């Protein structure tokens, strides 16, 4: 019994300085914050699930993204000069591939259907290494103002190395802006929703070719 009590007293004697030292080490000097407790993760625990990526959809059979009650019935013309320019938007330039040697523009058509203007076009990339990539637009023109054209519809991008070639699209209200004497309207919402790349989707004015009348040749007697 005496031996057991002696052992307990001996353990207590040696343990006391250890706890005292640990407590002293955890007490910060005056005016300093306490050190941060160690963590099993740095800087934070990983999420339970990776962030989801917005997937694109095929452009086959495009339909208006607006409910039937909100369909555009009439194109508002707030700037006649802008409208005269925009009716001759004939080309599409796609910034993602535009600087590659061999790149070509695509075709777009703006059509008047009574009081409603529509737009439809596509560019298929032919630059080396980008064959099979394409971008398209399909929609109705909601409003034309000075330097701004608002379209309700869809712009889709198909890039082989993005989402394994699944077309990615932006849809709804699309804003095309032009500045100064530029003849290019650029899509403001032109970030690809699948990889975040700024696509640089442009509609380009092309001056219509004036057909000069051929003078009538005098008849020879």
Question: Is 16 inside any structural domain?
Answer: no
Nearest one of 148, 154, 152, 126 to 56, comparing CA atoms? 154
Question: Is 29 inside any structural domain?
Answer: no
Range of the domain at 137: 68-205
Q: Is there a contact between 176 and 78 (Cβ–Cβ < 8 Å)?
A: no
Question: Is 52 inside any structural domain?
Answer: no
How far is it, in rounded angstroms, from Cα 159 to Cα 162?
5
Question: Is 20 inside any structural domain?
Answer: no
Question: Is 136 inside any structural domain?
Answer: yes
Residue ranges in the chain whose pLDDT is less than 50: 1-2, 4-26, 36-44, 51, 53-59, 63-66, 69
Question: Is 215 inside any structural domain?
Answer: no
Question: Is 18 inside any structural domain?
Answer: no
Nearest one of 82, 116, 115, 113 to 203, comparing CA atoms? 82
The pTM of this model reads 0.64
| Domains: count for the chain | 1
The DSSP symbol for 191 reads B
Question: Is 119 inside any structural domain?
Answer: yes
Q: What is the pLDDT of residues 4-59, one digit of tens each?
A: 444 444 444 444 444 344 444 445 555 555 554 444 444 445 555 554 544 444 44
Sort 65 into a burial class: Cβ within 10 Å, 0-12 / 13-18 / 19+. middle
């Amino acid at each position: 019994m005496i031996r057991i009590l002696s052992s307990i007293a001996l353990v207590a004697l040696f343990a006391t300085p250890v706890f005292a030292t640990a407590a002293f080490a955890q007490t910060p000097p005056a005016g300093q914050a306490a050190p941060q407790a160690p963590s099993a993760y740095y800087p934070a625990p990983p999420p339970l699930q990776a962030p989801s990526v917005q997937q694109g959809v095929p452009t086959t059979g495009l339909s208006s993204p607006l409910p039937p009650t909100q369909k555009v019935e009439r194109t508002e013309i707030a700037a006649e000069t802008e409208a005269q320019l925009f009716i001759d938007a004939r080309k599409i330039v796609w910034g993602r591939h535009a600087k590659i040697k061999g790149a070509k523009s695509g075709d777009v058509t703006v059509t008047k259907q009574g009081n409603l203007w529509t737009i439809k076009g596509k560019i298929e990339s032919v630059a080396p290494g980008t064959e099979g990539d394409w971008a398209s637009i399909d929609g109705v023109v909601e409003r034309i103002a000075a330097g701004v054209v608002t379209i309700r519809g869809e712009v889709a991008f198909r890039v082989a190395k993005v989402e394994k070639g699944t077309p990615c699209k932006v849809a709804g209200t699309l804003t095309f802006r032009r500045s100064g004497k530029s003849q290019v309207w650029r899509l403001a919402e032109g970030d690809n929703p699948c990889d975040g790349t700024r696509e640089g989707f442009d509609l380009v004015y092309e001056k219509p070719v004036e057909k000069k009348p051929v003078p009538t040749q005098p008849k020879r007697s």
